[in-house]
Amino acid sequence: LFWENDSIFISHAGISSLPANLFDESDTNGILWNRAPLKNIGQLQIIGHTPLEEGVPKFDETANSWNIDTACVYGFNLTALRLSEKGEVLKTISVKVLEEDIEKYF
């Protein structure tokens, strides 16, 4: 459900500032489904799950987190960060989604 080292914590939706059973897959504030503000955990959090309308990754200084859900499902970009072991962003990679790869929800 997550990957971490001393500096970085990566999960689908992040560690919520709200009370949660973090690793319970049905908890809406857990690391799979959280959409509440993130808690600063002393590690850089990298998350997705909450699509960003502008289609670009966003850093939250207060939570020390990057949201890299750049709304590929809506035709924007698929994004990744290349990080050092200490969590420094070395490169941002964003690729425009091809129209034929977008699942039609509407």
Per-residue pLDDT in tens (0 to 9) along the chain, 106 residues: 999 999 999 999 999 999 999 999 999 999 999 999 999 999 999 999 999 988 999 999 999 999 999 999 888 999 999 999 999 999 999 999 888 877 665 4
User: How far is Cα 39 from Cα 18, in angstroms, rounded to an integer?
Assistant: 8
What pLDDT does 102 receive? Answer: 77
Q: What is the pLDDT of residue 104?
A: 64
CA–CA distance, 81 with 106 (Å, rounded to integer): 30
Instruction: Round to whole Å and give the CA distance between 81 and 74.
Output: 20
pLDDT value at residue 70: 96
**pLDDT for 18:** 93
- Asked whether the beta carbons of 4 and 83 are under 8 A apart, the reply is no
Residue 101: the pLDDT is 78
Q: Whole-prediction pTM value?
A: 0.90
Cα separation, 67 vs 79, whole angstroms = 10
Q: Name, in order, each residue with C-beta under 8 angstroms of 79's C-beta and a sequence gap of 6 or more.
A: 56, 57, 68, 69, 70, 72, 92, 93, 94, 95
